[in-house]
Amino acid sequence: MSSTPVQERRERVAWVDSARCLAMFFIMWLHVGQSPDWMARPVGGGICLFFVLAGYFMPREPERAARRALQMGLAWLLWSLITFGLYLLVWPELQWTWQKVFGYGVAAYNAPLWFLKNLTVYQLIIAALAAIRLLPRCNWLFLVFLCGCTYINEQAQHESLRYDWLIAVMLGYCLRCVPLSRIEEWLWRQAPYIVGAIVILLLQRELYMLYAKAEGLHYYRSSLPLAQLCYAVLMCLTAMGLSRWLPRINAALAKAGSCMMFTYAAHSLFYSPIYHFDLPRWCGFAYSAAGIAILTWLYGKLAARLPRTMKVLTLR
């Protein structure tokens, strides 16, 4: 395999960080509790984007991949302890549970720590497969195998280790053989056809769901994240468009996206005081945008004063 992708991953790519910021905004808007009903669909795309990028930027060597997964597990544990401390000392009147603190189960809906927990397990699985030489020799074969094992899973992503997100991580891992610049070039060149195909696919899915609901039919839920992947691609194309046509806005989004791990892990703590308020929906939009700006600023201050701690918490 070419070493080009490894060399490219040493430098941050602005449109990738912008796409992360866009995905993070939709997720945070949903977590405020004042988002429109359609928000759940692009939120799934944002989660899918995070997992695909995590697979793409995984270390190549099994030892480094396993070490990275363990570092992620440590970050998950530290964020859990911070969450527990703030709930206990700062907001004791708020209802908290161990599920919300550690990011598992039904009560973890507004706690993003399930993302770190699941991704830790997924990266350990891929590192183990690489250690026994099944990867990278059988990258695409293993991905096809996972896709063929799809099943109906009624649980939400924060309630269990759903392996449809392992499919997303594995897809990113398989794409590592393609340089990021080549992926960007292909996506941008084929953008009109890609957007058209995605719109048709999503419309077909929505119409079928409406028909099944009207006729009282059971709608088959596949664990293949096809719709989520469509929204993830649309976020990437939007970020690429901003990088070409609105570079200043893209630079601001990229700065926020570069510290996504901190913002994503800390935003539920930042939002906790307003969970019990009945705010208008426009407040949720404004609060989400302001939250990203404030947490980005806070990350810069903390990174300057506590560089080692922030390096552990944000996997730098």
First to last CA, the chain: 26
pLDDT of residue 3: 40
- pLDDT tens-digit map of 267-295: 877 776 666 566 666 677 888 899 999 99
105: helix, coil or strand?
Answer: coil
Residue 55 to residue 225: CA distance in whole angstroms: 15
Residue identified by tokens 């899973």 is 153
Where is average pLDDT lowest: 23-32, 117-126, 154-163? 154-163
Q: Which residues contact 313 (CB under 8 A, 6 or more apart)?
A: 75, 78, 79, 261, 262, 265
What average pLDDT does the chain have? Answer: 84
pLDDT of residue 225: 81
Is 50 exceeded by the pLDDT of residue 7?
no
Residue range 200-216: mean pLDDT, rounded: 81
Distances (CA, A) of 146 to 51, 57, 169: 15, 20, 11
- pLDDT tens-digit map of 66-101: 999 999 999 988 988 887 887 777 666 666 677 777
Q: For residues 32 and 292, is the Cβ–Cβ distance under 8 A? A: no
- pLDDT tens-digit map of 118-141: 899 999 999 999 999 999 889 999
- The number of residues making up the chain comes to 316
**Secondary structure tally for the chain: helices H, strands E:** 15, 0
Per 3-state DSSP, what percentage of the chain is helix, strand, and coil (rounded to 5)?
Answer: 75, 0, 25
Residue 64 to residue 315: CA distance in whole angstroms: 13
Residue 47 one-letter amino acid: I
User: For the chain, what percent of residues have pLDDT higher than 70?
Assistant: 82
Residue identified by tokens 């996506």 is 187
Sequence spans of domains, the chain:
4-313
User: What angle (nearest 5°) sits at the alpha carbon of residue 261, between those of residues 66 and 315?
Assistant: 35
pLDDT of residue 147: 83
